[in-house]
Amino acid sequence: MTLGLVAPVRDGMSTGGRPPSQFALNPTGRVVIAADLGASHSTIAITDLAGSILRESREQLDIALGPEHVLSHMRDSAARLLELAGRDLADVIAVGIGLPGPVEFTTGRPSNPPIMPGWNGFDVPEWVHHHLHVPVHVENDVNIMAIGERALFFPEVDDVIFVKVATGIGAGIISGGRLQRGAQGTAGDIGHVRVERGAGTACPCGNMGCLEAIASGPAIAASLRGLGLDATSGSDVLDLVRQGNTLAIQAVRQAGRDIGEVLTTCISFINPSVIVIGGSMARAGEHLLAGVREVVYTRSTPLATEHLSIVQSQAGSNAAVIGAATLSIQHALSPEGIDSMIAA
């Protein structure tokens, strides 16, 4: 099996320190399949080993159609994209997949994802490996967005929090240069933290006053309907903001403040240097960020925010697919990944 690696540059003997670098990489020699499978969309890309997108497709696709349907679609899309890129399956070194819910990270199986009926415990890596015969890495969408945003725009920054504000609210945490998944893979689940303004608002999770119940796209839309505006989704809220509707702008800014309330604690706790606000609601731009910044800078100690940047996602809708590619490339090119390819 060829590896997309050229001959050894030097043959280093270990001195007990880090493994010597033994290969120069030819980044165009092999490719990966990266998939960002959202609640209602599917983005599939073929990238080279530097993470550059060679071909990409984006379609509406309901994750609730179930794993067999969605993964078959992914496989077929990937095959078409490979053909368009003049490659074939034998060039694929790995597959990286992002899913819109918690993933048990040792097995790559989704665990209790509320918006993914039929996926709970489904062996995604096994299915994909069975059909594509390469290593598969599955991760929740917020984590791959964090990895993608960092890979593209903050490669030298070791402490980055990516906050996705969309139908739900969640965070991907990179601390000390590593993705932090937590003990059960639920790290970053800030959508169900209770906030002051939420008192009295019921959340579908069963608790009262969750951040997500007042600051997600659907929650903002609901609050605007209460004011007599025509808004059924986060996308409607964004339209109203773009039209300059004052009530919509105020509601988005208030959502930013609520998110900022939770982030203030997270910032004191983990001391990041960059907070990236992404997800569809981040397209409301400065209005959302202004609310976040207002609360974070008012409530934090100077020490916690002295070197902190709070910025809008620049990777936008590509953050996830780039992150899925980056993740699978990192695994494939790890010493263990290369060993297993050599052995194959």
Catalog residues that contact a copy of itself under the rule CB under 8 A. Answer: 12-20, 22-23, 102, 112, 157-159, 171, 173, 175-176, 178, 180-190, 192-194, 196, 205, 207, 262, 264-266, 268-273, 299-301, 303-304, 306-307, 335-336, 338-339
Distance CA 120, CA 129 (A): 18
Return the number of the residue (8 or 226) whose C-beta is nearest a copy of itself.
Answer: 8
| β-sheet bridge partners, residue 137 | 96
Return the number of the residue (273 or 312) whose C-beta is nearest a copy of itself.
Answer: 273
Return the number of the residue (47 or 113) whose C-beta is nearest a copy of itself.
Answer: 113
Amino acid identity, position 289: L
Q: What letter would DSSP give residue 86?
A: T
Return the number of the residue (82 or 263) whose C-beta is nearest a copy of itself.
Answer: 263
Provide, rounded to whole angstroms, the least separation between the CB of residue 160 and a copy of itself.
Answer: 9
Distance CA 123, CA 138 (A): 10
Q: What letter would DSSP give residue 21?
A: P
- Give the other-Cβ count within 10 Å of 293's Cβ: 20
Provide, rounded to whole angstroms, the least separation between the CB of residue 172 and a copy of itself.
Answer: 11
Using CA atoms, how far residue 133 sits from 105, 156, 244, 274, in Å, is 20, 34, 51, 38
Provide, rounded to whole angstroms, the least separation between the CB of residue 277 and a copy of itself.
Answer: 16
Return the number of the residue (221 or 341) whose C-beta is nearest a copy of itself.
Answer: 341
Residues 6+ apart with CB under 8 A from 16: none
Contact 220, 226 (CB under 8 A): no
Return the number of the residue (20 or 226) whose C-beta is nearest a copy of itself.
Answer: 20
Report long-range pairs for 180-186 (Cβ below 8 Å, ≥24 apart).
Answer: 181/105, 181/143, 184/102, 184/104, 184/111, 185/102, 185/103, 185/104, 185/105, 185/111, 185/140, 186/102
Contact 308, 266 (CB under 8 A): no
Provide, rounded to whole angstroms, the least separation between the CB of residue 191 and a copy of itself.
Answer: 8
Return the number of the residue (112 or 314) whose C-beta is nearest a copy of itself.
Answer: 112
310, two tokens: 């709070």
Distance CA 299, CA 293 (A): 10
Provide, rounded to whole angstroms, the least separation between the CB of residue 10 and a copy of itself.
Answer: 12
Provide, rounded to whole angstroms, the least separation between the CB of residue 135 and a copy of itself.
Answer: 16
Return the number of the residue (122 or 154) whose C-beta is nearest a copy of itself.
Answer: 154
Cα 80 versus chain centre, distance: 24
31, two tokens: 């490719």
Provide, rounded to whole angstroms, the least separation between the CB of residue 16 and a copy of itself.
Answer: 5
Provide, rounded to whole angstroms, the least separation between the CB of residue 186 and a copy of itself.
Answer: 5
Using CA atoms, how far residue 180 sits from 109, 174, 264, in Å, is 18, 6, 19
Return the number of the residue (321 or 329) whose C-beta is nearest a copy of itself.
Answer: 329
Provide, rounded to whole angstroms, the least separation between the CB of residue 153 and a copy of itself.
Answer: 16
